[in-house]
Chains A and B, each alone.
Chain A
Amino acid sequence: MPKSKYIERRSLRNGLSAYLTAQGWTGINYEEGFLKDEAIVVPCVSVHFMPSNFKALQMGRDNSNSIKRVVQIDCYMESEPRADAISETIADFIEMTTVSIKGQDNIEIGVLTSETETISWQTLAPILNKPKIIRWRAIVRATLNAYYYD
């Protein structure tokens, strides 16, 4: 099974949606990639892997089967407390959970772990004072290590 950030992205999305559901977050639209304005349906959580060049992928690699990934999770929510709360829950998930990387046949081929000190999150207010479509954006960002089994 080739290493692929798309497989990792899907695995992270699946792990995240299971965790958030278990924490009581229901009715969330889960997406992948960075979304344009018209594609966002609130409440929405989207998992995005940063574009990266070969050199960046090699940083920290020591002949083992590990790759560094920078991920960004955008949460578009109806209110500031919900945006704050979901971003902190996601930060906890990234810090505490080891995510299985599962291939197309659903067999675990590796794991994603986080570098705790790289996890950051912030919540942005809607642009308007009295918007008619309320959308708070929270951004969670972290560096993950993808370890593949030999």
Chain B
Amino acid sequence: MLSYVIDTSDVKVFVQRMALESDAATILFFIEARYHIQEIMVEVVEQLGGWAEGFPPDYQAHLIEQIVLNPPIVESPDNLVVDLNLLGTYEHYSMGFHRHAIGSDNQRIELPYTGQDLKYEESVRTEAFEDKVVGTFLYNDTIDDRVNMWRSMGVAPEWWVLQNGSPDEPYVEPTPLEELISSRLQERLTPIYNDAMQEAVNRADQGWGTTASGGKRHALRSPTSKGRFIKRS
């Protein structure tokens, strides 16, 4: 009877080393990726140029500030997710509506707006807003008030209006914000990830690296006693 013996021990050692090396490489990659994500998001918002016509500069500045302070990244052991909703939601955005409009109780609305009934119908309010507010210092005050409110809440829902546009004042054309961020991230991070993984393969292949190899770097082994573990107190 003829039989073949295939020795897979080398492969097993390599696979074990590779698992450890790829874990280490992933951690290092995530640290680097966070930096690039933050930088790319700031670049995209800074370089809007003629896009997002009507997007107020104060909204833009505050959005950048929030991205730098608190980048919208969720990290788990296996992946890194950019979730723009962490910057703020449409509900946060709508809290900036109707500053100083008259409520059904004849009191002026102050921000945050939380859904109170208003005294006048939309067409009357829109006309009054465009006649008396747009183009005056009151308009800038309104924008300032909104931004200050969002800043105090620790959110920047301006991204939402940039992404989806607004048919109301300030009228903003929608912009492919998510698409731009994701395509630029892919462009920049894919080669960095590939390099990191190739490096992990090389290290696993060579048998040296950041992880224990052959037990020589095992922290629990005493350098003076052979084959015995140190008794820990």
Residues of A near any B CB (own CB < 8 A): 34-37, 40, 48, 50-52, 56, 59, 70, 72, 74, 124, 127-133, 137, 139, 143
Contacts and interface: CB of A to CB of B under 8 A. Distances in A.
Contacts of A139: 164
A127 B164 contact: no
Contacts of B94: 127
Nearest to A55: B183
Interface string B113-150: 00111100111001000000000000000000000000
Per DSSP, chain B at the interface is: loop
Contacts of A137: 167
B175 interface: yes
Contacts, number: 58
A129 B117 contact: yes
Q: Of residues B167, B169, B173, which shows the largest number of chain A Cβ atoms within 10 Å of its Cβ?
A: B167
Interface residues of B, number: 27
Contact of A34 (B116, B121, B173): B173
A133 B122 contact: yes
Given A37-B171, A51-B50, A143-B179, 5 more contacts: A34-B165, A37-B169, A51-B173, A128-B118, A133-B123
A72 B174 contact: yes
A139 B167 CA distance: 12
A141 to B, nearest CB: 8
